[in-house]
Amino acid sequence: MSSLASPHGTKGAATGAVARAAAITAPGIGLRPTGGPLGAEITDVDLRNIDDATFDAIHQAWLDNLVLLVRGQHLSDEDLIAFSRRFGALDHAPIQENGRRFVDGYPEIYVVSNVIENGVAIGSLGAGEAVWHTDMSYLPDPPKASMLYALEVPPTGGDTSFSNMYLAHDTLPADLRARVAGLMLKHDGTYNSGNFVRQGVTPTDDPRLSVGTPHPVICTHPGTGRRMLYLGRRRNAYLMGLDLAESEALLDALWEHAQRPELVWTHRWRVGDLVLWDNRCTMHRRDPFDPACRRVMHRTQIKGEAPPAI
C-alpha cells in the first residue's frame, strides 16, 4: 500500500508550479495524483471513520493538490456534514432555482440534480452544461471549499472538470498581468452556473448594474501564500471602473487563458465518489447529460477564513 508520500512531480508537472503531494504520511491511506495539472485520489480510507492524523494528511493533500477524489464511500447526509465540518464551519446551501433551500432538516446540504418529483425539481443546475465558475463568489466571503458526493450518476455525461488557477496566474502573459494587476472584479450574483436566475434577484445583463461583490482579480491564497487568478463566472463579470468595452475585452483575454486545456483535469463520476475542491484556487464546470437519466449529488460548502485579498 502506498503512503501519502508521493514521487516527485507528476506527468505534466513541468508546467505545474504546484508542489504536489508534499512528503506527508498517514498510516494506512494512499495518495495517487491524477497526472494532470491538479487533483489526487485518496485511497484506502472510509471518511466516516478517520483519526486526527489521517485528517491532517488529507487536509495537507487537499492544499497541495487542490482537488481530492475519494471513491467508494457510503455517506449519509450526517456523515457528509460531519466530515465537512472537520475543515471548518459550514455555510448554508445557497437558495436553489426552485426556491427550496436545502434537504429537509439539513440546511448545509445543497442538492445538485435534474430529478423532478411531484412537479418540483429536487435540486439545482438541471441536466445542461454548468459553465466554468467557482462557488458563491458573488458573496463577500465565499466558501473556501466545496464537497460534492455522488448518490446517482448517469451512464455517460455529467463529467466535472476542474482548472488550476495558480497555474493560470503563473502562466499569465506579462502584458495581460500588468493590465489587470490591482483591478477589482465584480462577481455576478444574478445567474448560477446553470444560467438560471437566482431566487429574489431582478435579472439584468448590464454587468455594471448587476448585483454581486468585487474581489481582487489576482488574490493570495490564505493557506498557501500563493498567487492565483480569481475569476468566478464570466457572465455579467465587470472590471470595476473600466469602460464596459475595455472590461469585456480584458475579461475575454483572461478567460481565454484560464480555459486552456493544460490547466484542466476532468473527473468521470461513479456512485460513492466524494470530490473536495479548494474553491479559491480552482474553477469547475460540468458537461451536460441526458435529461432522461437521473443524477443526484449532495454538496456542502465550507466557510472561508478570510475574504479574497491581494
135 binds Mn ion (CB under 5 A): yes
Q: Give the residue, chosen from 54, 160, 171, 190, that forms a contact with ligand OGA under the rule CB under 6 A.
A: 160
Q: How many angstroms separate the most distant Cα atoms in the chain?
A: 57
Total residues binding Mn ion (CB under 5 A): 1
Q: Give the residue, chosen from 135, 188, 273, 278, that forms a contact with ligand OGA under the rule CB under 6 A.
A: 135
Cβ proximity to Mn ion: between 77 and 135 the closer is: 135
Q: How far is the CB of 110 from ligand OGA (least distance, A)?
A: 7
Map residues 192-231 to x or -, x wherever contact with ligand OGA holds by CB under 6 A.
Answer: -x--------------------------------------
146 binds ligand OGA (CB under 6 A): yes
Distance CA 293, CA 310 (A): 43
Cβ proximity to ligand OGA: between 28 and 291 the closer is: 291
Distance CA 301, CA 149 (A): 12
Distance CA 130, CA 108 (A): 21
108 binds Mn ion (CB under 5 A): no
* Distances in whole angstroms, Cα of residue 111 to Cα of each of 83, 132, 237: 17, 18, 25
Cell numbers 484542466 label which residue?
264
Distance CA 126, CA 288 (A): 9
Q: How far is the CB of 299 from ligand OGA (least distance, A)?
A: 4
Cβ proximity to ligand OGA: between 125 and 281 the closer is: 125
Footprint (CB under 6 A) of ligand OGA, residues 249-288: 284, 286
Q: Give the residue, chosen from 21, 42, 112, 180, that forms a contact with ligand OGA under the rule CB under 6 A.
A: 112
Q: Which of Mn ion, ligand OGA, none interacts with 278 (beta carbon under 5 to 8 A by kind)? A: none
Q: Give the residue, chosen from 61, 130, 147, 228, that forms a contact with ligand OGA under the rule CB under 6 A.
A: 130
**Which residue's beta carbon is nearest to the bound Mn ion?**
135
Q: How far is the CB of 241 from ligand OGA (least distance, A)?
A: 30
Distance CA 86, CA 24 (A): 19
Q: How far is the CB of 17 from ligand OGA (least distance, A)?
A: 26
Burial label for 243, CB within 10 Å (0-12, 13-18, 19+), is exposed
Q: How far is the CB of 133 from Mn ion (least distance, A)?
A: 6
Distance CA 23, CA 9 (A): 12
Total residues binding ligand OGA (CB under 6 A): 12
User: Which parts of this chain interact with Mn ion (CB under 5 A)?
Assistant: 135
User: Which parts of this chain interact with ligand OGA (CB under 6 A)?
Assistant: 112, 125, 130, 135, 146, 148, 160, 193, 284, 286, 297, 299
